[in-house]
Amino acid sequence: MPVAPRHTAGMNKRILSALSLVFLFVVSVRADEQRLFLWRIQSGKATAYLLGSIHVAKPAMYPLDAQIERAFGNSNVLVVEADASPDKAMAMAVKMMARAGYPPEDSMDKHVSKDTFDALVARMAKDGMPAAQVKMLKPWFLASLMVLTELQKLGIDPQNGLDLHFLSEAKGKPIVELESAEAQIDLLDGFTDKQQEEFLKYTLKDMDGLAKNVNEIIDAWSAGDAKKIENYLLDPSKDSPEMQTLLVKLFDERNAKMAVKIEELLKTDKTYFIVVGAGHLVGKKGLLQLLGKDHRVEQMTRFHR
C-alpha cells in the first residue's frame, strides 16, 4: 500500500471528504438578503437545520456566518453522514484499506481498458507512485487518492471541512449518523468494473480543472446558490449514461434513505443540526425536494428574521 500505517487514519478522513468533489424550491428572498446554504425545516414540535457541507473548505471560510453557528448552538443533536471523529478514524481507516486493494492474484489492469490504465499510470507517476503499486489498487480508491493529492498540492486541507468542524465543536452533543463510513465504502467497492472505470475516467478528465472547480463550488456555497451546485453535479453526466447511473447510486438512492431517517427525527420534539454534502440537497431527488413534500422548508439568510 502506498500509505504508511501511521498516516492511514488521517488520510482516510481526507479521502472520504475528497470523494464528494469527484462528483458533487430555493425559497425566494429579498434583494438585500444574502442566502446561506442552510435551510430550516419545521415539523410539529421538531425543527431541523439542514446545512449543505463543503467537505474541503478553505480556512478563509471561517469563522462561519453567525446564523449558521447560532443554529448549531440552538440544536440538541448533531446529525452527519458518517461520524469521522478522531476516535472513529482508525477503525474507518482499517476498513477502507482492507477494501482498497486487489488480492495478490488479481490487478487493476484486468478490470479496466488499456487506455484508462495507461492514463492512470502516467498520472500517478507524477506523484511518485510506480505502476506496480497502481495496478494493485482499485479504481475507486485511486480516484479518491488522486483528488486528495491534488488538493494537497493546492494547499487545500480537507481537515477544514464543515463536517469535521461541527464534529469537533459538538462537545458532548449527541451525534447521529445518517449512514456510516462502512456503508459508503460498501457503495464504492460495490461498483461494477465498468462503473469503477467510468468513475476513474471522470476523475482523470477533471484533475486539471480541480482548482477551478473547488473555487466555483465554494463560491456557489458561499452565495447559497443551490442551482449552481446542482448544475455542477449534473452537467458532466449529460453525455454519459454510465455517469448518470453512478449519480443515481451516489445521490438519488442515498438521498431517499437519508430522507427516511430525517423524517423519523422530525417526529420528535428535538432540534437537529444536519450536515450532509451540498450535493445531497439539490436536484429533483435532493433532500430539499424530498423533505419539502410534507414539511415547510425555508432557506435562511444572513438577515433572516
Q: Given pLDDT bands bounded at 50, 70 and 90, which one contains residue 10?
A: low
Looking at residue 33, its pLDDT comes to 61
Terminal Cα distance for the chain, rounded: 53
The predicted pLDDT at position 3 comes to 38
More confident residue, 9 or 150: 150
With beta carbons less than 8 A apart as the criterion, state whether 164 and 92 touch. Answer: no
Note the pTM of the prediction, 2 decimals: 0.87
12 vs 180, which has greater pLDDT?
A: 180
Rg (CA), the chain: 19
**How far are the Cα atoms of 84, 89, 165, 177 from residue 171, in angstroms, in the given order?**
14, 17, 11, 16
Q: Picking from 151-155, 202-206, 232-236, which range would have the lowest pLDDT averaged per residue?
A: 232-236
pLDDT at residue 113, rounded to an integer: 97
pLDDT tier for residue 54 given thresholds of 50, 70 and 90: confident
Average pLDDT over residues 124-139: 95
Look at residue 266 in the predicted model and tell me its pLDDT.
97
> For 72-110, how does the pLDDT look when each residue is reduced to its tens digit (9 = 90+)?
999 999 999 999 887 887 888 889 999 999 999 999 999
The set of cell numbers assigned to 108 is: 487493476
* Percent of the chain scoring above 90 in pLDDT: 62
Q: What is the pLDDT of residue 11?
A: 55
Cross-strand pairs, 101: 137
Report the alpha-carbon distance of residue 142 to residue 147 in Å, rounded: 9
What is the average pLDDT value for the chain, to the nearest integer?
A: 86
pLDDT in tens, 165-205: 999 999 889 999 999 989 999 999 999 999 999 999 989 98
Backbone φ and ψ of 113, nearest 5°: -70, 160
Q: Give dist(CA 281, CA 289) in Å, integer.
A: 8
